[in-house]
């Protein structure tokens, strides 16, 4: 066959083949998800937004007046901005010269007047004051962790991998304190469904007002409310019907585990404030348009007292970026989307 | 003479490319299978494709090595590269971000680099096919 005729035919055949594959592929929200939402109209309005110079910012905490942003790619950098997203200030944490830590994993937590920087693979924790940002090592008797939440000046809750007798790792919650017994395990709080690590992934947040911790699973419709001694207060359920994590995990000969199919996200992020749990959902309800998430994020609001569903907020997005981190403070919601920090006013009824 | 040299070089480039990527896929087989499973387009076929794709790459390299089948090898190279390229374009435009496991250093490339790399190879195959046909007619 003539080369160019063959080329044309071949390109056409490839396009048809790949489009057929695409047509038959499982796409999220392709089918009805089997639940409905109670959407508050006009519940969130964009008040102001701030262009961030760099990508990879996350919310490190807040004080009465200010919001603090940390950056995944610059571990000592701290950006502060007031509630109206004006008056930005660049800060740098000061650590003693020659210190070594896994800076790519380090996260900053602001809990005025203290500021912490922690990294769980060595593990290394630093503590300092917001006033002078002089950080020094502390809590040397901690444990390895992959998530850390500060609870008070003397205690933290971490999520760590607990090695079973068969060598199978599983995520568990751990309380780390500055005094004896230093480390205590919260056994059977996080429940294994598939592999113990991926299937139990989720968001941990702490409400200072009520002293409650909440752990929201990424891949199932479940969240746990805990006290700071890691006693389960109740298990709540998000609206959707995913009781079991729809994920497939392959264990490689090197010992590393990897997803072997696209994971079905349910709840991508959660934050606690105002005696409410705010859960950023990736699923579309049956009473919503299938493209409901195209220009907005969906946040379901639950009661922190008993985990009951209250209502849903639509957070309008501007531009392409989706919410990678958010926090709620009174009737304000701050969200990091790509290169911007957006401030919204939300209804609290 | 120049044409012949160009065709030879193109064939050699494809042999290197296919043997290198096929071998690195086989060496890293478990990983390759897991990662292509993460692509929503081929999740279901991942276990089969993880074997067929590197085998096909070796097969095409063999065709290119044997002078009698060189023409078929060039056509098959073009078909293979076109399929990969269309797959990337569809995945990047219609789907969310997906990791790739094309084998060895080629996995390090970003999606855009990957696209340019593939387009260059598609063009090379086309050039090879065209020159080969002209050579045969002289």
Task: Give how far the C-alpha of residue B128 lies from the chain's centroid of Cα atoms, to the nearest Å.
Answer: 15
A9 Cβ under 8 Å from any chain B Cβ: no
The label of the residue with tokens 């000969």 reads A253
Residue B34: list chain A partners with CB under 8 A: 250, 252, 258-260
When the pLDDT of each residue in chain A is averaged and rounded to a whole number, the result is 92
Between positions 24 and 43 of B, the ones with CB within 8 A of A are 30-31, 33-35, 37-43
Handedness of CA A302, A308, A311, A317 (dihedral sign): positive
Which CATH number goes with the domain that contains A150? 2.120.10.30
pLDDT digits (tens, 9 = 90+) for A26-61: 888 888 899 999 998 888 999 999 999 998 999 999
Minimal CA separation from B120 to chain A, in Å:
15
d(CA A65, CA B115): 47
How many interchain CB pairs under 8 A, A with B?
Answer: 78
In a domain, A268, yes or no: yes
Two tokens, residue B133: 């046909």
Q: How many domains does chain A have?
A: 1
Structural domain contains residue A57? yes
pLDDT of residue B93: 81
Side-chain half-sphere exposure of A177, counting CA atoms within 13 A = 11
**Model's pTM, two decimal places?**
0.89
Angle between helices B2-27 and B70-94 (to 10 degrees): 60
Mean pLDDT of A273-282: 95
Q: Which of A19, A250, A262 sits opposite B33 (nearest CB)?
A: A250
pLDDT tens per residue, range A71-88? 999 999 999 999 999 999
Substitution target from B36, B70, B80, B83 for chain A, most A beta carbons within 10 A = B83
- State the pLDDT at residue B135: 83
* Choice between A25 and A160, residue whose per-residue pLDDT is larger: A160
Domain membership of residue A270 as a residue range:
30-346
Judge whether A324 lies within some domain: yes
Whether A18 is covered by a domain: the verdict is no
A14 domain residue, yes or no: no
The pLDDT of residue A301: 96
- DSSP characters over B26-80: HHTHHHHHHHHHTSTTTGGGHHHHHHHHHHHHHHHHHHHHSGGGHHHHHHHHHHH
Per-residue pLDDT, B1: 81
Instruction: Give domain status of residue A21, yes or no.
Output: no
A22 inside 8 A of chain B by CB? yes
pLDDT tens for chain B, residues 1 to 138: 888 899 999 999 999 999 999 999 999 899 899 988 888 888 889 999 999 999 999 999 999 999 999 999 999 999 999 999 999 888 888 766 555 555 566 666 777 888 899 999 999 999 999 999 888 776
A153 belongs to a structural domain: yes
Looking at this predicted complex, what is its ipTM?
A: 0.89
Is residue A20 less than 8 Å (CB to CB) from chain B?
no
With an 8 Å Cβ cutoff, are A26 and B41 in contact?
no
The answer to whether residue A320 is domain-embedded is yes
Give the burial class of A178: count Cβ atoms within 10 A of its Cβ; 0-12 exposed, 13-18 middle, 19 or more buried. Answer: middle
Position B107 scores a pLDDT of 64
- Residue in A11, A21, A260 nearest the CB of B82: A11
């Amino acid at each position: 066959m003539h080369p160019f005729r063959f080329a044309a035919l071949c390109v056409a055949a490839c396009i048809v083949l790949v489009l057929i594959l695409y047509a038959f592929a499982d796409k999220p929200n392709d089918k009805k998800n089997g639940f409905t939402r109670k959407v508050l109209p006009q519940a969130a309005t964009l008040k102001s937004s701030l262009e961030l110079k760099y990508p990879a910012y996350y919310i490190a905490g807040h004080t009465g007046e200010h919001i603090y942003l940390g950056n995944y790619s610059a571990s000592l950098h701290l950006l502060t901005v007031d509630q109206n997203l004006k008056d930005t200030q660049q800060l740098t944490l000061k650590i003693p010269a020659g210190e070594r830590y896994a800076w790519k994993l380090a996260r900053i937590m602001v809990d005025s007047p203290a500021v912490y920087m922690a990294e769980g693979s060595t593990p290394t924790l630093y503590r300092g004051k917001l006033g002078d940002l002089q950080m020094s090592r502390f809590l040397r008797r901690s444990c390895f962790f992959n998530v850390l939440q500060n609870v008070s000046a003397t205690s933290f809750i971490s999520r760590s991998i607990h090695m079973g007798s068969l060598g199978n790792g599983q995520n568990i919650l751990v309380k780390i304190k500055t005094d004896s017994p230093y480390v205590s395990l919260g056994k059977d709080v996080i429940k294994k469904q598939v592999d113990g690590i991926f299937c139990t992934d989720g968001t941990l947040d702490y409400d200072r007002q009520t002293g409650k911790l909440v752990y929201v699973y990424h891949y199932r419709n479940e969240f746990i409310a805990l006290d700071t001694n890691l006693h389960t207060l109740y298990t709540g359920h998000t609206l959707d019907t995913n009781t079991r994590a729809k994920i497939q995990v392959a264990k490689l000969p090197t010992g590393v585990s990897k997803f072997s199919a696209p994971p079905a996200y349910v709840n991508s992020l959660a934050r606690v404030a105002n005696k409410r749990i705010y859960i950023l959902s990736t699923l579309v309800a049956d009473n919503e348009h299938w493209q409901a998430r195209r220009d907005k994020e969906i946040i379901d609001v639950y009661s922190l007292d008993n985990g009951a569903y209250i209502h849903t907020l639509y957070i309008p997005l501007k531009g392409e970026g989706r919410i990678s981190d958010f926090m709620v403070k009174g009737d304000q919601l701050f969200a990091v989307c790509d290169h911007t920090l957006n401030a919204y006013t939300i209804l609290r009824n | 003479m120049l044409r012949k040299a160009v065709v030879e070089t193109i064939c050699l480039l494809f042999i290197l490319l296919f043997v290198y990527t096929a071998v690195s896929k086989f060496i890293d087989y478990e990983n390759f299978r897991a990662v292509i499973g993460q692509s929503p387009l081929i999740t279901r076929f991942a276990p089969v494709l993880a074997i067929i794709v590197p085998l096909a790459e070796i097969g095409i390299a063999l065709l290119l090595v044997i002078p009698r089948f060189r023409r078929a090898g060039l056509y098959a190279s073009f078909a293979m590269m076109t399929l990969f390229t269309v797959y990337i374009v569809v995945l990047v435009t219609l789907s969310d971000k997906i990791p790739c496991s094309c084998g060895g250093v080629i996995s390090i490339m970003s999606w855009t680099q990957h696209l340019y790399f593939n387009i260059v190879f598609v063009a090379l195959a086309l050039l090879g096919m065209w020159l080969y046909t002209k050579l045969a007619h002289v």
